[in-house]
Structure 1
Amino acid sequence: MARVVCVHGMGQQVQGEDRLRSVWWPALSDGLRRAGAKGLVAEPDVAVGFYGDLFRPAGQFLAAGDPPYTAGDVEDGFERELLAAWWQAAAESDPGVVAPDGDGTLAATPRSVQAALRALSGSKFFANLALRAVVADLKQVRAYLTDQQVREQARGRVMAQIGPDTRVVVAHSLGSVVAYEALCALPQHGVRALVTIGSPLGIRNLVFDRLQPAPAGTGKELRGTWPGGEQLAWTNLAGAGDVVALVKDLRPLFGERQRSAMLSNGVHAHDATSYLTDELCGKAIAKGLA
């Protein structure tokens, strides 16, 4: 089994295991080099926990791999709430984004959703994403967190890649939620380092409160389950302008054993490779391999 398992994020439905590994591996290797740990792992020892095809509509081969979504396809409830949160975060980190009015929620009208999507299209973070891709990402996050069948299938894909030799799990974006839950479901695993990058795990109500297993406690004392034993070191890296990683510091939700750090990823704030090439990411991975 692989020594390092990588778990991708949202928007990868037209990719595959080998394709993603060909992109992640050079960046991961560069991060190890920055950390002075080049050579600790070889490409054959790296695997990808791939679940993106679960979100690919059967028999539809569109240019961007997504159905032709419009603002009218953003559903009430979870999808509107997450879109509103992204809009608020983008406005706070990007002066070019008009801030939403009111309490941060979206009225149940297509016009308010269109306003949110229009504002995000002018942001640095979402500038290269088509509208239908943004809506598709919303639907992927909602599907994982509200559809138990999808959740178990995605989680199972990742669990299947984690074996006795696996020492490091690196997980990006929505994949950090999948990987976290997979490790919680494997209490006897030997993983020594969990590295979450661009993670939405800290978003209360929408993500954190929906985790499996459910967080324990109440109010400010609510805490998520630790995803391993005493040997596990968990490092969370969040880009300063990463809208998906709304909550940068996960320690208040998972305890002081968790380590959180802020990175400067430039205009590619949420890109997985921007995280992987950073020295702090390389050090976190190296610690699990040493």
Structure 2
Amino acid sequence: MTRVVLVHGIAQQLKGPETITEAWLPSLNDGLAISGSDTLPRQDVSVAFYGDLFRRPGHRGLGEPPLDASDVEPGLEHELLLAWWQAAADAESPVPGPDAPARLRTPHIVQRALNALSHSAFFAGLAEGAMIGSARQVRRYFTEPEVRRAAGERLARVVTGETTVIIAHSLGSVVAYETLCAHPQWQDLTLITLGSPLAVHGLVFDRLRPTPHAGTARWPVPVKRWINIADHGDAVALVKELAPSFGTRVQDFTVNNGAHAHDVRPYLTARETGLVLAESLG
């Protein structure tokens, strides 16, 4: 019985639905326990997994060379990296901003962005290729129709008549929103978005389906309640409040995830998330 569906975000291509469940469920239940509510058994939770759509195929010999700044494509990939850079610099003092003097050995704007992001809480410890790969997954979702369609189908496949809550993180909130809009026959669902980039105009918002009109996106018909939760320092959730773009029915909350602002686990353990989930489950 799938009462709660989880929709993951970027950089999950080397995992699978069971791996993600093992990572998410303890944190989700911690959030419920902290809020004073009963926890969920494993059989009540399903994962809409689409990460494998972004997994690169294997190659003989030494394989493909790692991605570097020269591989960043103009357009969405380039603009996303610069936007993440600015957001990280605004939220974290150790991260040099785009206006900081460039060192002579890294004059290229993309290389400067990658160097700066390597000092941020979200991207710390990640290789340049992983950062570029994260931006590339967002670009591929919006520019490759087969990827977009398959991701939505993965979510639709696990939603059942018993489903009452969809929890979506990062890029998963885009998958969830578009899939909910495409299935008006579903009823009475609660949508919880965590670290969502949905309201980032110019990069994400304007590419949504259905297309927003006059700066406002369509309300997903099956959703009776929508709660959006963001950390002030989350560089991916560049716009923390969704209500101005998706309607005043969206309830926006902010939390403090500590050093790992975009990590889904502190989002799930937050009391705010636990309370909302408990109310939605009755």
Letter of the 1:259 counterpart: Q
Matched residues in 2 for 1:44 and 1:255: separation? 34
Letter of the 2:10 counterpart: M
Q: Name 1:283's counterpart in structure 2.
A: 275
More displaced 10-residue stretch of structure 1: 170-179 or 53-62: 53-62
Correspondence for 1:100 among 92, 98, 101 = 98
Q: Name 1:105's counterpart in structure 2.
A: none
Percent identity of paired positions between Structure 1 and Structure 2: 49
Contact kept, 8 Å, 2:122 with 2:263, in 1: the verdict is: no
Matched residues in 1 for 2:265 and 2:90: separation? 24
Letter of the 1:236 counterpart: N
Q: Give the alignment's Cα RMSD to 1 decimal.
A: 2.0
Structure 2, unpaired ranges of 5+: 101-105
Q: What per-residue deviation string (whole Å, max 9, x for no partner) do you get for residues 245-277 of structure 1? A: 000011100111001111100111111111000
Give TM-score scaled by structure 2 length: 0.93
- CA drift at 1:98: 1.2
Matched residues in 1 for 2:160 and 2:168: separation? 16
Matches within 5 A, 1:113-124: 113-124=110-121
- CA drift at 1:206: 0.9
Letter of the 1:91 counterpart: A
- Determine if the alignment matches structure 1 residue 228 to structure 2 residue 221: yes
Q: Name 1:25's counterpart in structure 2.
A: 25
| Helix, strand or coil at the partner of 1:79 | helix
Matched residues in 2 for 1:53 and 1:110: separation? 35
- CA drift at 1:14: 0.5
Q: What per-residue deviation string (whole Å, max 9, x for no partner) do you get for residues 28-50 of structure 1? A: 111111111123x3211100000
Letter of the 2:162 counterpart: D
- CA drift at 1:192: 2.6
Matched residues in 2 for 1:56 and 1:168: separation? 28
- CA drift at 1:124: 2.4
| Helix, strand or coil at the partner of 2:265 | helix
Q: Name 1:168's counterpart in structure 2.
A: 165
Q: What per-residue deviation string (whole Å, max 9, x for no partner) do you get for residues 201-221 of structure 1? A: 0100110111011112x2xxx
Give TM-score scaled by structure 1 length: 0.91
Contact kept, 8 Å, 1:166 with 1:190, in 2: the verdict is: no
Structure 1, unpaired ranges of 5+: 103-108
Q: Name 1:87's counterpart in structure 2.
A: 85
Any runs of at least 4 consecutive aligned residues in structure 1 with deviations exceeding 3 A, and if so which? Answer: none
More displaced 10-residue stretch of structure 1: 135-144 or 116-125: 116-125
Q: Name 1:54's counterpart in structure 2.
A: 53
| Helix, strand or coil at the partner of 2:238 | coil
- CA drift at 1:67: 6.4
Correspondence for 1:142 among 125, 131, 139 = 139
Letter of the 2:154 counterpart: R
Letter of the 2:69 counterpart: A
Matched residues in 1 for 2:107 and 2:20: separation? 35
Correspondence for 2:265 among 243, 262, 273 = 273
Q: Name 2:103's counterpart in structure 1.
A: none
- Determine if the alignment matches structure 1 residue 182 to structure 2 residue 174: no
- CA drift at 1:68: 1.2
Q: What per-residue deviation string (whole Å, max 9, x for no partner) do you get for residues 117-136 of structure 1? A: 01111222211222111000
